[in-house]
Amino acid sequence: MIGFVGAGRVGAQAALEVASLGVDDLILVDIVPGLAEGEALDISHKLSEAGVDVSVTGSSDYSSIAGADVVVITAGLARKPGMTRMDLLGKNAGIVASVAKEVGKYAPDAVAITVTNPMDVMNYVVQKATGFPAARVVGMGGVLDLSRFKHVLSLRLGVSRSSIMALVIGEHGENMVPLARYTSIGGVPLTSILDGKQIEETIQSTRQVAIDVISKKGATVDAPGNAIARMVKAVAWDRHDVLPASTFLDGQYGVSGLGIGVPLMLGAKGVEKVYELALDEGERVQFMKGVETIREGIAALPPL
C-alpha cells in the first residue's frame, strides 16, 4: 500500500498519477475534513472508467496508513508568488515534524518520500522525526528539476524531448546544478552543441521556470506529480531506478550530515546506492552553495 499525507493540489495530482499506473492500493490522509475522502472518490471514478483495479481511499486518521510500504509527504504550505522555498521554512517545519512522527508510528517500515518545501531541509526533518534509517528517507526534487531542464533544452534546440539525456543535482532551489557536461542529445554531448554562454543561459532559464509557473497559475502541480509517481514506482516495484533525488551523504562529494540531490539508485529498500560524480570547479562551487543553504536552513529549524 502507498500512503499520501497531504491531499492538496500536489498530493492529489501525485496520487492520481500513481493510481493511474496501477502501482498499488492508495490511502490519502489530510487533516481537512472530507478532503482526502473526496479526492479518493474522484480518483476512483476516473480509474473505474479506465479499468484500473486499485483501491483508493481517503481518511483524516493517520492510523489508516498502517503497513504502508511507501509514504509520500506533501503536507504543508505551498510557495506563493514572490516567495523562495526557504521562506516556508519556519511554518512547514512544525507541520512536517508532526506528520512525520505519525508516519514513524504507523508505518515504521515504510520508505518516506519528502516533497514539502524547502524540500532538502524538510527531508532532514522527516528523518529526525521518524527515526528512520537515512536510506529510507528520500527527497523529491531532482526528477522535477530534471524535467524542467529537459523542457528548456527541447525548446532551445528544437529537438524531441525523448532525445535528451540530462542530469540535475544539488539543492532543490535556486542553487540547483544542471550538469551540461553530463547531458547529451541523442548521444551528442551538449557541450559540443552549445557554447559556454548559451549553456549558462539555459541553466538560468531552468532555475527560473518554477517561479514563472507559480506567478501564472499559483502553484506547480503536474510536473511534481509526475516526479513523485516516478519515485513511488521505483520503490513499490523495486525497479532499482537511477535518478536524481535528495539523500543523506556520508562523505560523498565532501559532505556529511545532510541530504542534497545526487544521482542514486532507488528500490524497495529506499536509497540503495549513491553515485559520486567528478565535478569541475564551477559545478562544485554551485553544489556547495546549495550545501551551505541547506546547512543554514537546518540551523534555523525550531526544536523538533
Residues marked as catalytic: 172
- Whether 65 and 103 have beta carbons less than 8 Å apart is answered as yes
Contact 301, 125 (CB under 8 A): yes
Joined grid coordinates for residue 225: 506529480
In whole angstroms, what is the distance from residue 258 CA to residue 266 CA? 18
E strand or H helix at 251, and its extent?
none
Cell numbers at residue 169, please? 543535482
Please count the other Cβ atoms lying within 10 Å of the Cβ belonging to residue 278: 8
Helix (H, G, I), strand (E, B) or coil at 84: coil
Torsion of CA 89, 126, 272, 281, to 10 degrees: 20
User: What region does 71 belong to: left with phi over 0, alpha with psi -120 to 50, or beta?
Assistant: beta
**What is the CB neighbour count within 10 angstroms for residue 252?**
16
Q: How many CA atoms lie within 13 A of 113 on its CB side?
A: 34
Residue 118 preceded by cis peptide, ω within 30? yes
- Taken in order 84, 135, 304, 256, the sign of the CA dihedral is negative
Question: How many whole angstroms separate alpha carbon 140 and alpha carbon 231?
Answer: 8
